[in-house]
A and B are shown apart, each in its own frame.
Chain A
Amino acid sequence: MMRQFIIRRLLGVIPTLLVIITVSFLIIRLAPGGPFLAERNLPEAVVKNLEHKYGLDKPLVVQYFTYVGNIITGDFGVSLQYLDRDVTYFIKKNLPVSALLGSLALSISLILGLSMGITSALKQNTWVDHMLMSFATIGISVPLFVVGPILMYIFAMKLQWLPTSGWIGGRNGSLAMILPIVTLSFPFTANIARLSRASVLEVVHSDFIRTARAKGLSSLRIVWGHIIRASITPVVSYLGPVFAGVITSSVVVETIFRVPGLGVFFVQSSFNRDYTLIMALVIVYSVILIFANLIVDILYVIIDPRTLKRI
C-alpha cells in the first residue's frame, strides 16, 4: 500500500515538471526586455551577434523544443548574465550552501518552536506563556529584512560578538553562520510555537488525556506519549509550507548576510532576464519542493496511518 502510494506520487512528478517548465518558459519570455538590454542601447550589429550566439534569434517554439530537448540530455545551457558559464556550475557550487542554511534554520525552528509551543500550552496564562507568545507574535509580524539588520547591528556592530556577514569559508570561520541561521529561523519558530501551543491545548483538554491521568500515568509520560504525538500532526502538515517559506525567505537572508547560496541568483536572474539560469533554478526548486511535499505526506502516513486511505 505504502509502496504503491510512493510510486504513484513519483510518476506524477514528470508531468508536473513539464507543466512547470512550459509555463515558466512562457512567462519569462513574455516579460519585457531581454538579457542584453542596458542603459546604453547597443548597436544593432552587437545585439545581433549576441542573440545569434545564444540562439535567441530563432522562433520561440524552436527555442522551447531545443531547450526541453537539451535538459533531457542534462544540458541546462550557459548563463546569459554570468557569461558562458554553465548554469549547473552555480547549482553545484551554491545549492549546498542554501541547503545547509535552510536545513539548519528548519531544524532550529522545529526544536525551538515545538519546545516553546508545548511549554506555553502547559503553562497556559502564566507569565512564561505570555512572554513566549509575545515573542512569537513579534516573530510573525516583523519581516526578515528588519530582523536581519537589527540582529546584525546588535551582535556584530555593538557587541562585536559575531561578524556582520559571511559564511563558513570566510575569515571569521563559521561564527558567521549564526546570524543568518537565527534570522531565517525567526518567523518559522514563531509560527510553529503558536501552532503547537494551540494543538497541545486542544489535546490537553480532550477526554483521552483525562483518561490517561485518571489511570495514574506520570505527567511526563502523558506529555511524551500522548500530548506531543497527538499535537504534532498540524505541525507536520505545516512543514510543506515551511519548506517553501524557508526557500523564499532565504533569498532575503542571503542578500542581507551575503550568504553565497542560490537564493540571490533566483531574484537577480529574473531582474537580469537571464533566461537559462531562471529556468534551471525553477526546475531545481520545483524538484526540491515536490520531494519535500512527498516526504511530508509520507511522514503524515507514518504518524497517522488512517490518512493513507484519504490520499
Chain B
Amino acid sequence: MKKSLYINKTIKMVVMTLFIPLMMLMVFSCGGEGASDDEVEFIIANGTEPSTIDPHKATGVPEHKIIMALFEGLVRNNPKTTRAEAGVATSWEIDETIYTMHLRKDAVWSDGVAITAETVRDSWLRILNPETASSYAWFPAMLIKGAQAYNSGEGSAEDVAVRVIDTNTFQFETVGPMPYVLDALSHYSFAIVPMHTIKEHGDDWILPEFFVGNGPFVLTEWNPREVLTATKNEKYWDKKNVFIDTIVFIPIDDDNTMFNMYENNEVDWSVNIPQAQIENLEGRADAHISQQLATYYYQFNLENPLFQDINVRKALALSIGREQLTGSVLKGGQKAAYSIVPPMDGYSPIESIKEDDALAKQFLADAGYPNGEGFPDTTVLYNTSEGHKQIAEYIQQRWKDVLNIDINLENKEWKTFLVARRDNDFDIARGGWVGDYLDPNTFLDMFITGGGLNDPAYASTTYDDLINKAAKSEGSARMSILREAETLLINEDVAVIPIYFYVKFNMIDLDKWDGWYSNTLDTHPYVGMKMKK
C-alpha cells in the first residue's frame, strides 16, 4: 500500500518535470512579428550564409542574389533574357573598344548622395586595387585596358583606361572588341559602390547600421545564419516598378530543410531541390527546371604518359554512355553533353562525335590495349559527394562493360581535391563550370595554356592562337573561330570529356508571383516582380 503511494507520487513528479520545460517554452513563445497585410514580403530560401555583401569581394551564388537587390551597375539584367538594359547608365555608345556611358542624372545612393562618373571610376579602381584583394578582380582585369597590370602590381591606377568625361559621362576602353562586354557589366565585379561610406566606415560599411546602396532595396537587418532583410529603397530611380516591400533572405545549408520550408509555405522561393525529391516533383507547376549555362566534365591529366596517347583519350570519351547516365542515373532533365559550351543563342554547337562502343574498343586496341589487356592502373578522382559518386560508379561500370578495363574511384574533401587537381596529382578528375556571361568565351578561354580551369595542363599553341584571334574579331567570324577552337579542344585533342549540362531547380509558385522567369544564367531580378492579387 505504502509502496504504491510513493510510486504514484514519483509518477506525478515525472509528469510535472515533463511539463515544466514545455511551460517554459510556452512563456518564451510570444509569437513573432510578421509583415502587416498590405505589405508584400518575399521570402527566399537562399542557400548558404553569404560570405559578404561587398560586391567587390563576393564570389558565390547566394551573395549574387542579395547583391542584385542591393546594388545596380551601369546596366542591369533584363529579367526574361538576362541581357543588359539601362541601369545607372541610360544610354551608351560603343566605338570598337571605347565605351561611352551616359549616366542618369537622378541616380543617387540610398542616403541621397549623387552617383557620378567619378563614383563609377573610383569603384572600378577599387576592385582592381591590389590592396582590396578581390577574388573576382580577374574579370574586369581581363576586359579593361591597363587593368591587368594595375591588379598585379605592375602598373598604376592612372594607366587603367577608365575616364571621367564629365559628371554624367563615363568612358572605358577594353583590350579588344569583345561582344560580351556590355552584358558583363551587370556582373557584380563591375558594381558601383558607395565610396563615401567605405571611406567613413572601412570594412564595416556592409553592416546594416552603416549600409548605403543604389539597388531597388536597402539592407535593414543581417543576423548571421538567421536572416538578412532588405526593404524597398525609396531613392531608387525605378521605384515605381518595385512592387515588393521587403525581401527576406534566409540562409539554409540543408537542402531538405529548404524544401520542407517551401512545402510548409514558410518561404516563397526555394533556390534548390534535394536530389531525392526530383522524381516526386514531376508535373508540379511550381517546380522549375531550367537548362543552366554549366557543364559537368571529366578531365585527363595530360602529363600522365598514358593519356598522352590520343587513342586512350578517345576510347574513354566515346564510351561514357551519356544518354543512359542522364536518363537513368541523374533523372532531373539534364542533357548529355558532347561539347564544353552549353547550347546558347548566337553560337551553334560543334559537330559532336556521338558515342560508339565499337570505335572505342578499336581506339583502345590501337593504343596497345586490345580488349583492355594490360591497361595501367587508373583512378577517377572526384570531390566527396553522393551525386559525383553515383556518376563515377556508372562510368566505371560502363568502361568495364565496353572496354573491359578496371578503373578505381577515389574521393577527396573539396579543398584537398582542388589541391590534387591543381598540382596534377590525378589521372582523371571531375570538373564543373558555370558560365559567368552569355558567351562561349566564358568556357573556352579557361583552357588556354595556364587558364583558370586548365588543370589538364592542356597546352596547344594552335588553341591559344585561336582564342586570341577570336578576342580581336567580331560577329559571326568570331563565333566560327571559337567553334574551331572548341572542335580542336573536344573532338581532336580530347583534352576533356564533357558529360552533361547542368540543370537548375527552383521552387516558386508563379500563380502567386509575377515577373519571375527561368533562364540559363539563373538570374532573377526583383524589379518588376509582383504578387498576383
Residues of A within 8 A of B (CB): 31-34, 36-46, 48-50, 52-54, 78, 81-85, 89-90, 93-94, 104, 107-108, 111-112, 115-116, 118-119, 122-123, 149, 152-153, 156-157, 160, 163-165, 167-175, 177-178, 181, 218-220, 223, 255-258, 260-261, 264-265, 268, 271-273
Contact = CB atoms under 8 A, between A and B. Distances in A.
A265 B48 CA distance: 11
B151 A83 contact: no
Contact of A123 (B7, B33, B253, B446): B7
A31 B31 CA distance: 45
Interface string B122-159: 00000000111111011001000000100111000000
B54 interface: yes
A89 B224 CA distance: 9
A111 B32 contact: no
Given A52-B133, A119-B11, A169 B6 contact: no
Given A111-B20, A115-B14, A219 B3 contact: yes
Given A53-B133, A169-B227, A174-B29, 4 more contacts: A112-B21, A116-B14, A173-B31, A258-B225
Given A33-B418, A84-B52, A156-B260, A46 B28 contact: no
A311 to B, nearest CB: 31
Contacts of A38: 59, 135, 418
Contacts of A94: 224-225
A296 B200 CA distance: 48
Interface stretch (B67-75, B261-269, B392-400, B508-516): B261-269
Given A41-B453, A119-B14, A164 B251 contact: no
Q: Which 6 A-B pairs have the closest CB atoms?
A: A33-B415, A45-B152, A260-B226, A219-B6, A84-B203, A53-B133
B138 to A, nearest CB: 5
A42 B226 contact: no
A175 B13 CA distance: 25
Given A37-B422, A219-B3, A265-B225, A255 B415 contact: no
B32 A104 contact: no
A156 B266 CA distance: 11
A164 B257 contact: yes
Contacts of B266: 163-164, 171
A112 B10 contact: no
A253 B276 CA distance: 21
A271 B413 CA distance: 8
Contacts of B253: 255, 258, 264, 268
Contacts of B152: 43-45, 48
Contacts of B415: 31-34, 37, 271-273
Nearest to B431: A39
A224 B324 CA distance: 69
6 contacts: A37-B419, A42-B452, A171-B33, A258-B225, A264-B225, A271-B413
A32 B423 CA distance: 11
Contact of B418 (A39, A83, A89): A39
B135 A46 contact: yes
Nearest to B446: A40
Nearest to A258: B252
Interface in B40-56: 48-49, 51-52, 54
B54 A40 contact: no
Given A83-B54, A157-B260, A220 B9 contact: yes
Nearest to B14: A115
Interface in B225-279: 225-227, 250-254, 256-257, 260-261, 263-264, 266
Contacts of A152: 257, 260
Contacts of B250: 258
A245 to B, nearest CB: 19
A54 to B, nearest CB: 8
Interface in B9-36: 9-11, 13-14, 17-18, 20-21, 24-25, 28-34
Interface string B452-496: 111100000000000000000000000000000000000000000
B433 interface: yes
Contacts of B30: 173-174
B21 A261 contact: no
Contacts of A173: 28-32
A260 B228 CA distance: 12
A93 B32 contact: no
Nearest to B259: A164
A45 B51 contact: no
B224 A42 contact: no
B2 interface: yes
A169 B264 contact: no
Nearest to A254: B225
A235 to B, nearest CB: 15
A83 B134 CA distance: 10
B17 A115 contact: yes
Contacts of B24: 104
A39 B28 CA distance: 45
Contacts of A171: 32-34, 266
B423 to A, nearest CB: 9
B21 A223 contact: no
A84 B7 CA distance: 60
Given A149-B256, A168-B28, A260-B223, A122 B264 contact: no
B463 to A, nearest CB: 18
B371 interface: no
B34 A85 contact: no
B153 to A, nearest CB: 7
